[in-house]
Amino acid sequence: MAIEEGAIVTILRVPKSGGIPTTKVRVVRWFKKEGSKVKQGEPVVELETDKVNYELDSPAAGILLKIVAAVDAQVPVGDPLGCIGQLGETLPEF
């Protein structure tokens, strides 16, 4: 799974692609803006590898508190894309 759950915030990370050997992805677009509500299982961001585009779903319900990786950014597998939680929660430093 592409999340890291702490006591406060869920960190959305670039997942390892099962059958696609890749070391990084490009952020194509965000479906939500910072401060928007998200539902668990709802597409949050579109990512692109050398071979395929795919949507990454929210692993948790809450608020998209921070977008860490901007559109067109090249993000290594395992690195953070954004943070989901509740308003007022403390965000990790990146």
Domain count, the chain: 1
**Would 78 be classed as within a structural domain?**
yes
pLDDT at 6 over 50: no
Question: In the predicted model, what is the mean pLDDT of residues 68-94?
Answer: 90
Predicted confidence at residue 50, as pLDDT, reads: 86
Range of the domain at 70: 3-85
Predicted confidence at residue 19, as pLDDT, reads: 66
Q: Which two tokens stand for residue 24?
A: 């990084």
**Would 41 be classed as within a structural domain?**
yes
Interstrand relation of 80-85 and 62-67 (parallel, antiparallel or unpaired): antiparallel
Predicted confidence at residue 89, as pLDDT, reads: 77
Predicted confidence at residue 16, as pLDDT, reads: 83
pLDDT at 7 over 70: no
**Would 92 be classed as within a structural domain?**
no
Q: Per residue in 14-73, pLDDT tens? A: 998 766 678 899 999 999 999 999 999 999 999 999 888 999 999 999 999 999 999 999
Burial (0-12, 13-18, 19+ Cβ within 10 Å), 19: exposed
pLDDT at 1 over 50: no
What residues contact residue 13 under an 8 Å CB cut-off, 6+ apart? 2, 3, 4, 78, 79, 80, 81
